[in-house]
Amino acid sequence: MFRRPSSFAAAIAAAVPATPDPAAFGPIEIFRAGSFADMTGTTQTIRPENLTEIAGNYDPENHPAPVVIGHPETDAPAFGWVDQLYVEGDVLKAMIKDAAPEFVDMVKAGRYKRVSISLFLPASTANPMPGELYIRHVGFLGAQAPAVPGLKPVKFAGGPGSCFAMAQDFAAPLSPEQAELAALRREKTERRVEDLIRQGRVLPRFKDEIMSFADSLGSGDTVSFADGSAMPTRDWFFDYLSKQPVL
For residue 231, what pLDDT is reported? 81
Q: Who contacts 132 (Cβ-Cβ below 8 Å, separation ≥6)?
A: 53, 57, 122
The burial of 25, by beta-carbon neighbours within 10 Å (0-12 exposed, 13-18 middle, 19 or more buried), is given as buried
* Domain membership flag for residue 247: no
> Could you tell me if 187 and 114 lie in one domain?
no
| C-alpha span between 153 and 115 (Å, rounded) | 8
> Could you tell me if 33 and 136 lie in one domain?
yes
Q: Who contacts 56 (Cβ-Cβ below 8 Å, separation ≥6)?
A: none
Mean of the pLDDT values across residues 6-20? 41
Q: Who contacts 66 (Cβ-Cβ below 8 Å, separation ≥6)?
A: 78, 79, 80, 81, 82, 137, 138
* Domain membership flag for residue 193: yes
| C-alpha span between 70 and 143 (Å, rounded) | 10
> Could you tell me if 135 and 186 lie in one domain?
no
CB–CB of 184/176 below 8 Å? no
pLDDT above 70: residue 148:
no
Domain total of the chain? 2
Global confidence as pTM: 0.53
- Residue span of the structural domain in which 216 resides: 176-242
> Could you tell me if 111 and 29 lie in one domain?
yes
Which tens digits make up the pLDDT trace of 84-131?
A: 999 998 889 999 999 888 888 887 777 777 788 888 877 777 888 888
Q: Helix, strand, or coil here: 7?
A: helix
For residue 155, what pLDDT is reported? 46
